[in-house]
Amino acid sequence: MHRRTALSVSAALLAAAPLLAACSGGTRPGTAAVVGGERITTSALQAQVNDVRTAQNRSEQGARLIGATAGLERLKLNKMIQTAVLERAADDAGLSVSTKEIEDVRKAQLQQVGGEKALAAAALEQAQLAPDQIDADTRFKLLRDKLFAHYGSQDKALVKLGEAAKELHIEVNPRYGRWDEKQILLGDQQTPWITQKTMPEQAAPAGA
């Protein structure tokens, strides 16, 4: 089976942010994690956190939302690493998600909640997503659900995700916690691999 020799994550998936920079291996100052020989920079991680904090500060519920997301840095780093793992596992399985599929989900979400403002508010409160992170989150969920369907069960897909994670030789800056190889997640962060009912909804219940 063909495997990529370098980590490749689409710009759409990562909200057009320069998340990965070349790295010779191992964590170093300015590095939040090393995944597949490439690093997730602390500046890229902070950019995602700042987008959420900006959206929270604009919300009427800002103080409550900020108070409830003290671990936002770890949550976002967990998602960034798992995104890379999912991309590798999906690539190995020959799976992909089209722009049209993402657009179709957004249209359904907008109809369901009643517009962009309501969608943004729900995504921010229930999934800690800034408006410009919603499409990337949708892509993650669509790709994850395709992986589950491809292997016929979540358990089998999780085995493949674990294999992909091992191939990527993930290292995390201790500042952000410890990478759990068995659970395929960062420390005590909640895993999005198992389907959970959160908002915004899409074709199948999805996790944050």
State the pairing for strand pair 31-35/38-41: antiparallel
pLDDT at position 195 is: 58
CA distance 140 to 8: 14
Q: Which residue, 88, 57, 89, 87, is CA-closest to 72?
A: 57
12: left (phi over 0), alpha (psi -120 to 50) or beta: alpha
From the list 17, 8, 7, 10, the residue with the least C-alpha distance to 130 is 17
Please state the domain extents for the chain: 20-186
CA-CA distances (angstroms) from residue 86 to 119, 120, 166?
25, 25, 12
Tokens of 71: 């671990």
The DSSP call for residue 22 is E
- The token duo for 191 is 């895993």
- CA–chain centroid gap for 122, Å, is 17
- Mean pLDDT over 3-12 rounds to 36
The residue that leads in pLDDT, 25 or 29, is: 29
Architecture of domain 20-186: Orthogonal Bundle (1.10)
Provide mean pLDDT across the span 108-114: 95
Give the pLDDT confidence of 26-82 residue by residue, as tens digits. 457 799 999 999 999 999 999 999 999 999 999 999 999 999 999 999 999 999 999
